[in-house]
Structure 1
């Protein structure tokens, strides 16, 4: 063997010997070789090789460019973006190890290759091969039958995030080709919310009118960064993400970074100045304790609160609010609860020491500006909506909203190139359910109501879900809570009569399909993909198929076009508009070019970072936020001018006239509200487990750092109190006036600039009814019982019909990614409940096993598409993807599938769907539309070679609510008052009219509520450990969950503190049994001090490996075997981080 051959050769055996990241990066096949090794690599490249641009378009928030080297119609190795000078602000969009391992995903032996139909029970995974004609005819006839017998409201498109960056290939239900097809055929039941952000997305608009945050790069102008449950180092770690931007921005500002999280995350590890571990679900209590300090120490920005807010104190409280219903009264204990939210109070709840809460409050109150943000973890608690609003109060109290260096308390924003999307068209069905409640809509849909179940558009569901589309999502089972319950629901085939899964693999969800269709991967078809969360640099990736179609895999557009044909020529015409996938992309890009001529032509050539980690009990972030608020208020560290000018409900003077006396936030924090409990650091410490002195220290840091960047990830809102937690965290930015300024933030997750990519048009849905994205199982099981006031149905008072037909495209939420797998399984066992489930996927996932028809999809790298960035900071980008290979076997692109279905639904459906365009024509059209917005973008032909277009945000940094901060009269927020609503009259009305259980609380203030299945739930006597999930770096949700090298490098484990492990005789690496009332699993233990005592954590997205017709014990580590199917109170979202378990050594 020559020297060069030895240098570039590597075997699986040598890789497995080392799980170091460096070894994995080399083997993944997407690395940049140093110095002389580059010439060695070049020497072995054959002249017959071609390099094709592709993208990794899974749902991490990034859309990273890939350069796929193809020989003999096979991808042989992968590298990533190597264009430009790689400068901060215009950097290379380098893929992480997941994206670089895509060759193994493309060539995986478990890829789906042929259409199949189910021959066993749902979930058994027993299928037989059928022809494409039989599959498409079956889908179309079942769809016709469902619509004729039950109406369009009985058809449901399963929540999915398996392919979110694509245009033609995008699987997001509200914007996928499946949605467009159904809108051409009378519509389908709508869903609202998402599994990622259900509670924070619902809660924050009650405060700000939107969910906007400053870009991460604006931390350059911050003096303090406070992150609630935000972990970009694992969730957004690539060049298309924001970790690099966070580090570079902190280098410039030298801002102190405080991380509040139950787990010592990779974002914190070695990078933070301080880690405050907090009990899960208690963030709002911490915020209340901080607010108490800010108010009492005069650290609030009173002018900001007076000018911009409603409900901080009595003078801005709405007229209809009860006396002392304002925030100040709540914090000071002058509200209904009569509990001052002192640091001592917060300390008992959060576990954070009282002195640390006071310190934190003072830091927040004195740092100007301060960047306060929250990830999406805190809102995934049972009290998530309140938590999200509570966190946002910190930048509000301190006046850090709308300024550079501040933030709104939301997650970071990003700049995105505006891309032209495939038009979805309007959905004639106006009813919606939560994306989490689909199992209820199958199981007992007509019982779901608006006020109990969050049904929208009607008072109740009229029919259950009978037909499900599941495309590129494992939410049918694996990513949905309570796998056992889901399994049971799906066993009754009368409940959901057809499940169609379109997938790449036999996932856990695919096993529940009635029809399972093999999809092309994104890199196997043409598309244009924009960035997502990438800071201030937008970019586009132009995908071309890396290989031809193999076996019988098909792109999603082809699949849906074929279904449309079978639904009738009118459906086919509406869906395709006469375009192929290629024609659509050309059409969309042409629209982009017209708006931005600077875009290139379509075919142009070419862990140790935080200063401090504060471990906190899961679900208690809101308590911490309240205690910080207590410190800020009592030490006069709030930005009173900001609160007076921009807010409603902080104190008596801004409380709405109709609000009760002392209903304002200040009264709540100080214990002058109805509960009479001061939200002191001592109070929060008992809840959060953060010592009171730590809470005080944190409050002082927040109060004194100007500006301060306070943000929250999406973990805190995934608790049963997630809505409240989100609002509570955001209050820290509000109290300190850090909203709308450079260096601040709104208290939400980091923002990102959008360069404006044109998307495939969805058209209008004639169905106006909506359900929560989480309640679809209810809509199958007892849909007609679902009402607006109990189940969150929107658009109607109740559902009229259950879901009978389910589309499942690129989605593992049918089982794997949905709560309570066992419950969902049971629902699916009655085929009469959901009569058809159509799956479109790449693999036999856990969800695919439950489909009635399963179709093999092309991957995004196997077809053309226009792919946009998402969370890319201040640089937007777009990728024009081309097929790396031809379609193999019988895999087909989604556009072809749906066009064929549209044909079968009638010529009008086909014409409306395609608009006479092929997929290629659509891509060219969308490219042109995107170029209209971005004139410097290359034309279509040029971009086929250059692959990616990047564009920096015109402004230096994106600042959420800057215009509002500069002129609140001319630029009012989208709230009823036009101001920041600390006290929300809308929420007060909802709390009075909705049907809520005793432990479900909707509060007009960003208050802390314990939620259910939390740290103080009586159930802890039986199940003493809190279990929270996190996004694991080896997977993006369940995507890449079957890639061997990633599994070997990052094994699935349950995190447990040494104290809890010792008490159970558990050592690192031991196999343990994790169990509760919902289910059980066997998994290896990771004994580590990086998790708070009393708290455990499991990375979400691992593929279910359980005998669902036997003992149902999971050996794969799918957290949803343990999670609940019970939705949160307001958003009706998934509180997947509110869980109680016991762990035993096996």
Structure 2
């Protein structure tokens, strides 16, 4: 009979397995472990029977001296693009490392200086190998055989797939005219100086423009309200400092900014750490206490979402009434800040100071007034305003998230006004950032000619579904239709087809249920990507695009950073993947304009010829980088080293030249326009891309949904959807390595959770009148009461009733037009409760990879 101890020891227990490997009886095993405990403190124990320990879990594993090392970079738009170093054996990337200082000119291992910091990749970039070799790589052209969204495709040849696309394009153009094809290319993971996907300089934009059938998507989901603000206020979106300027700040206000997750510059942490070491104080304005707040020991001021403009107005009131504003700076550089800085022709119109003091509406925008709207104590608003106005220099980093709201541009314009009234613009350690674009890179290597950005209609990106569903009964202001100077002005586009290049916008735009209805009415949907994405589910044709590891290009910094990274073709394209440039060149030949589209190549380019790509890139380097930017390093040396870092003689500060040298701002008046001369002179708003009136000065405008709405009786929670650390929008959502760090879940305040009987890990449904999602919960006090946090980018996964089981917040967002173009991702009211509905945590946790569904032959 077994002893009780033996009976409790199962055959699969760790102790039993170890005893079996050592070939010991239970009695001798216990003796050995007891002896080990006695000898362990002396360091004399040695198990002779154990095999020599290995560093790796399996063999054979190639060592570094067996691998070829190739410098390349990340490719996505996470807020930076950093160096990756591919270690490959043959045609397989075995592992990825990052910058260690040795690759730049005069570099050595470990070099990492203030002027030339290492360009270290984050956890997303370091995980790229799993995305590259994912089971969900799109390796062959596919043609839909089931219903849209059903995910039933068959493998096709390139010839059949491109013939189908070309014939459909011609038929659609002939029947529906030059606005029938919608361009929804964007800079997801197809972005370089040659293989580029974006709305203005992208390969798709040029291709459809030359074809003569293109409706453009003019608004950028991340920061359109901010773009509008910067152009109206400063005349440019290049309004950012390089991040080394943060090291000189004495106060940094992170307004809606979580640099631990979204960088806005690759070495942000390095410079902010220096600022902290030098005594800089940090403040966070955000509905949730973020990791960044914890890192920098920031004063956390929780605020009701979508009320930031009101709080900033309250701060402006305190600064004005306590005479803490910089009047000399205002008089010299600002237009419309007060009555004395108004243009002569607009003396009778509103100025900013009188609006703040309540002259026009008899409502002074006091801290007490703001407190009732934004939920921040009036004393805290006063304290922050006083701290900001008295601290020199101070950086109010007005990030993009609070601008992703209804009337989000008013938050950004209000922040710019507060920055200007305190004189914190154009000075080292200050901040003018809205968009935040800083150092200017040379961005285009392919032919950028008269066909670039040709369009025959241009609408706000997330209003395409509204346009399709309601055509022709659509007013131009409803879709943000851009004005033209020809017979197509005001003509509502009859959209019959969509191209997605480098974008997963079907998964990422607002009000997905509305998109699902609209997509069924189209005649052609083409998705070009390296991965089978949710957008691909609803496509007619899937075209496999080579990743940046499989083509030749140069990486640009993303908004901040001053460097270029060479991207050679590290490995051969997997499956039958082709580059974007190859695909569009071959389609252009089929449609009759191949030589014009790619003048350096003939039709054999479809089989890939790196000499063509190298010629484009060499010309770009020699004529733009060397000639315009004064770089002395040759193209061949750049390819050999892999990176070129510009060494600036001093930190780049936006508008330093205007403030120190008296150069004019790029606005019509040459000043910082708190009062916008452009907006003030618009007579017919319906004939603008905005569609609806926008005040000439920054104002608090009540959004259609927020904590002060009547709608809270039905939907009492304000939902925000910030960017996660483990994805770049929807990119990397299918990477198990990253999903192990975090599960898509909704964050709720502990007091709200207690009232609803919800605990961490419970499955809940979050819903409103637009849709419903199912997710687990995370209960915490790091989120203010009345607010739910559900990170954007989860891949949609619908059940038979149209409920999203993956937790994509854009089933709850609204696509209403915010006049200046801001996307209202964070203007969402919702409700939450425990549920028995099914939640699906992700395909990486299922028995079968999702790719199986797509790859089977039907």
TM-score (norm 1): 0.64
Q: CA deviation at 1:397?
A: 0.9
Q: Secondary structure at the match of 1:1056?
A: strand
The alignment status of 1:940 with 2:630, answered yes or no, reads no
| Alpha-carbon separation, structure 2, partners of 1:50 and 1:202 | 47
Contact 1:498 1:514 in 2 (8 A): yes
C-alpha separation in 2, matches of 1:92 and 1:3: 40
CA gap 1:1010/1:79 in 2 versus in 1, 3 angstroms: same
1:1002–1:220 CA distance, 2 compared to 1 (3 A): same
Determine whether 1:141 maps to 2:167. Answer: yes
Report the number of matched residues: 769
Aligned partners of 1:937 and 1:1047: how far apart in 2?
A: 44
Shift of 1:1038: 0.6
Counterpart of 2:490 in 1: which secondary structure?
Answer: strand
Cα distance, 1:1142–1:186 mapped onto 2, change above 3 Å: same
The structure 1 residue matched to 2:654, chosen from 934, 945, 960, is 960
Write the mapping of 1:1069-1088 to structure 2, written as runs, cut at 5 A. 1069-1088=761-780
Q: Distance in 2 between matches of 1:1027 and 1:54?
A: 38
Q: CA 1:154 to 1:5, structure 2 compared with 1: closer, same or farther past 3 Å?
A: farther
C-alpha separation in 1, matches of 2:52 and 2:630: 45
2:702 and 2:274 map into 1 onto residues whose CA distance is 37
Cα 1:415/1:497, change in 2 over 3 Å? same
Deviation per residue, 1:701-730 (Å, 9 max, x gap): xxxxxxxxxxxxxxxxxxxxxxxxxxxxxx
- Structure 1 3/256 Cα, relative in aligned 2: closer, same or farther at 3 Å? farther
Q: Deviations over 1:948-1004 (max 9, x none)?
A: 2211234x1111112222344xx22222222122222433444874499xx986222
Q: Find the partner of 2:509 among 453, 456, 480.
A: 480
1:490 aligned onto 2:529: no
**Separation in 1 of the partners of 2:90 and 2:230?**
52
Partner of residue 45 from structure 1, selected from 64, 73, 77: 64
- Counting only pairs closer than 5 Å after superposition, residues 173-212 of structure 1 correspond to structure 2 as 173-186=199-212, 188-211=214-237, 212=239
Structure 2: unaligned runs, 5 residues or longer? 1-48, 836-858
Please identify, of 240-249 and 1050-1059, the stretch whose mean Cα deviation from structure 2 is larger. 240-249
Q: 1:45 to 1:215 in 2, by over 3 A?
A: closer
Q: Is 1:317 aligned to residue 9 of structure 2?
A: no
C-alpha offsets along residues 1037-1093 of structure 1, whole Å, 9 cap, x if unaligned? 111110011011111111111011111111011111111111111101111111111
- Is 1:9 aligned to residue 89 of structure 2? no
Match of 2:357 in 1: 332
1:248 to 2:274 alignment: yes
Question: C-alpha separation between the residues in 2 aligned to 1:995 and 1:1022?
Answer: 37
Cα deviation, residue 917, structure 1: 7.6
Partner of 2:726: 1034
Match of 1:54 in 2: 72
**Cα distance in 1 between the residues matched to 2:566 and 2:675:** 46
| SS of corresponding position for 2:757 | coil
Partner SS, residue 292 of structure 2: coil
1:261 Cα deviation (Å)? Answer: 0.9
Q: Does structure 2 conserve the Cα–Cα contact (< 8 Å) formed by 1:444 and 1:464?
A: no
1:66 touches 1:80 (CA, 8 Å); kept in 2?
yes
| 1:247 shift after superposition | 1.9
Q: Which residue of 2 aligns with 1:464?
A: 494
CA distance in 2, matches of 1:519, 1:345: 54
Partner of 2:424, secondary structure, is strand
Deviation of 1:409 (Å): 4.5
2-side partners of 1:481 and 1:566: how far apart?
A: 35
1:1060 matched to 2:771? The reply is no
Secondary structure, counterpart of 1:987 in structure 2: helix
Q: Which residue of 1 aligns with 2:287?
A: 262
Give the drift of 1:210: 2.0
* Partners of 2:137 and 2:651 in 1: CA distance: 43
**Could you tell me how far apart the structure 2 residues matched to 1:194 and 1:6 are?**
50
How far apart are residue 229 of structure 1 and its match?
0.9
Distance 1:938 1:441, change over 3 A: farther
Query: Following the alignment from structure 2 to structure 1, what is the Cα–Cα distance between the partners of residues 705 and 207?
Result: 40
Q: For 2:195, which of 149, 155, 169 is the aligned residue? A: 169
1:1005 to 697, 701, 705: 697
Q: Name the structure, 1 or 2, with higher relative contact order (CA <8 Å, separation 6+).
A: 1
Shift of residue 233, structure 1, vs aligned partner: 1.4
The residue number in structure 2 matching 1:578 is 600
Cα offset, 1:160, TM superposition:
2.1
Larger Rg: 2
**Offset, 1:149:** 2.5
Equivalence for 1:30: none
Partner SS state of residue 131, structure 2: helix
2:843 aligns with none
> Which range moves more in the overlay, 520-529 or 324-333?
324-333
After TM superposition, list the pairs within 5 Å mapping 1:296-445 onto structure 2.
Answer: 296-321=321-346, 323=348, 325-335=350-360, 337-410=361-434, 412-425=436-449, 426=451, 427-444=453-470
Query: Deviations along 1:180-207, whole A, 9 cap, x unmatched?
Result: 2223323522332201111110122222
**Closer, same or farther: CA 324–472 of 1 in aligned 2, 3 Å:** closer
Contact 1:166 1:529 in 2 (8 A): yes
- 2:15 is aligned to none
2:117 aligned with 1:91:
yes
Conservation of the 8 A alpha-carbon contact between 1:228 and 1:373:
yes
Partner of 2:316: 291
Q: Is the contact made by 1:501 and 1:513 (CA closer than 8 Å) also made in structure 2?
A: yes
Change (3 A) 1:580 1:102: farther
SS state of the match for residue 77, structure 1? strand
In the aligned structure 1, how far is the partner of 2:773 from the partner of 2:683?
Answer: 37
SS at match of 1:1123: coil
SS at match of 1:143: helix
Other structure's SS at 1:7 match: coil
Q: Could you tell me how far apart the structure 1 residues matched to 2:347 and 2:474 are?
A: 31
Distance 1:461 1:371 in 2: 45
Q: Distance in 1 between matches of 2:52 and 2:379?
A: 61
Aligned equivalent of 2:844: none
1:131 shift after superposition:
0.9
Confirm whether residue 1130 of structure 1 aligns to residue 809 of structure 2. no
Q: What SS class does the counterpart of residue 214 from structure 2 fall into? A: coil
Summarize deviations over 1:688-710 as a string: whole Å, max 9, x none: xxxxxxxxxxxxxxxxxxxxxxx
The reply on whether 1:1140 has 2:829 as its aligned counterpart is yes
Q: Which runs of 5+ in 1 are unaligned?
A: 12-39, 583-894, 900-913
Q: Distance in 1 between matches of 2:262 and 2:162?
A: 37
Residue in 2 that maps onto 1:908: none
How much has 1:937 moved relative to structure 2?
Answer: 5.3
Q: Give the structure with the higher percent strand.
A: 1
522, 532, 535: which is aligned to 2:558? 532
> Shift in Å at residue 79 of structure 1?
1.0
Counterpart residue number, 1:681: none
Superposed displacement of residue 430, structure 1:
4.9
2:287·2:303 contact (CA, 8 Å) conserved in 1? Answer: yes
Q: Equivalent residue for 2:28? A: none
Secondary structure of the structure 2 residue equivalent to 1:268: helix
Match of 2:43 in 1: none
TM normalised by structure 2 equals 0.85
C-alpha separation in 2, matches of 1:197 and 1:213: 14
Structure 2 residue 734 is the aligned partner of structure 1 residue 1048: no
More helix by share: 2
* Structure 1, 410-419 or 147-156: larger mean CA deviation: 410-419
Instruction: Give the whole-Å Cα distance in 2 for the aligned partners of 1:4 and 1:221.
Output: 53
1:233 is the counterpart of 2:233: no
Shift of residue 98, structure 1, vs aligned partner:
0.8
Cα separation, 2, equivalents of 1:987 and 1:556: 39
CA RMSD of aligned residues (A): 2.7
Query: Contact 1:311/1:983 (CA < 8 Å) preserved in 2?
Result: yes
Per the TM alignment, residue 437 of structure 1 is displaced from its structure 2 partner at its CA by 2.2
> 1:509 aligns to what?
535
Please list the CA deviations of residues 409-432 of structure 1 after superposition, one character each: whole Å capped at 9, or x if unmatched. Answer: 425444354344323433443532
Spell out the pairing of 1:491-640 with structure 2 (5 A cutoff): 491-492=520-521, 496-535=522-561, 538-568=562-592, 571-579=593-601
- Is contact 1:194–1:436 with CA below 8 Å preserved after alignment? no
Q: SS in structure 2 opposite 1:258?
A: strand
